[in-house]
Amino acid sequence: MGAAMNPPNISEAPAPADRRRGRWQLLLIVAVVIGPMILATGMYKLQFWVPDSRSYHGEMIGNGQGRADIGVQADETRWQILVTAPRDCAVDCQQLVYLARQIQIALGRDASRASHALAAAQPLSDEYAARLQREYPQLQRYPLDPAAFAKGANDQGAPQLWIVDPHGNLVLRYDARVKGKDLLNDLRHLLKLSNIG
């Protein structure tokens, strides 16, 4: 019989077409994994494709300002619905004070997590002070430094309503046109998300 034949060499190198296809697959996997991270970073840094919608109704403060920055010295450790009156507490101011009390009551079981307050730069009229004493027994009252308010609030003297967190940080600001339902929804949302106060 003739000499035994050697079996063919099976470990041949892959064809160039197979190598190219493998590289494309690797590049595709890397792009799928890293691409969204690069896109998200670019959206954040360059502020493009950022939605304008928001889930709150007031003006978000978010710059680290506290009560003291708008001229109010207080040591409240709960959430606070604070009305500021840089001038006299006239109709708009009185409406906001009323609204602050109603919002706290409307919180129901969470009412103990919040307080309502008035910070006024000028003395209240005797009639209104007596009414507050009689009808708003839980209302906290503070003096307001008008110079600090003008600087910190960037406002021309209109009364404002603020939501203040338990650390004293300003969270949201509203003017006298705020709707009670919108304010209540914002505060309930904050209390739901918060582990403090």
DSSP result, 130-180: HHHHHH-TT-EEEEB-HHHHHHHH--SS--EEEEE-TTSBEEEEE-TT--H
Residue 72 near residue 119, CB atoms below 8 Å:
yes
> What is the count of structural domains for the chain?
2
Q: How far is CA 178 from the centre of its chain?
A: 17
Q: Is the pLDDT of residue 103 over 80?
A: yes
Can you tell me the distance from the alpha carbon of 117 to that of 183, in angstroms, rounded to the nearest whole number? 15
Kindly state whether residue 76 falls inside one of the protein's structural domains: yes
Q: What percent of the chain has pLDDT over 90?
A: 60
Are residue 83 and residue 112 in the same domain, yes or no? yes
Model pLDDT, residue 132: 96
- How does pLDDT run across 156-191, given as a tens digit for each residue? 689 999 999 999 999 999 999 999 999 999 999 999
Specify the CATH number for the domain of residue 136.
3.40.30.10
The whole domain housing 20 covers: 15-53
Mean pLDDT of 61-66: 87
**Whether 171 and 115 share a structural domain:** yes
Q: Would you say residue 125 lies in a domain?
A: yes
Residue 47 and residue 127 in one domain: no
Residues 39, 85, single domain; the answer is no
* 171 shares its domain with 102: yes
User: Percentage of residues in the chain with pLDDT exceeding 70?
Assistant: 86
Locate the DSSP E strands across the chain: 59-60, 79-85, 114-120, 140-143, 160-164, 170-174
Residue 144 has what pLDDT? 96
For residues 48 and 107, membership in a common domain is answered with no
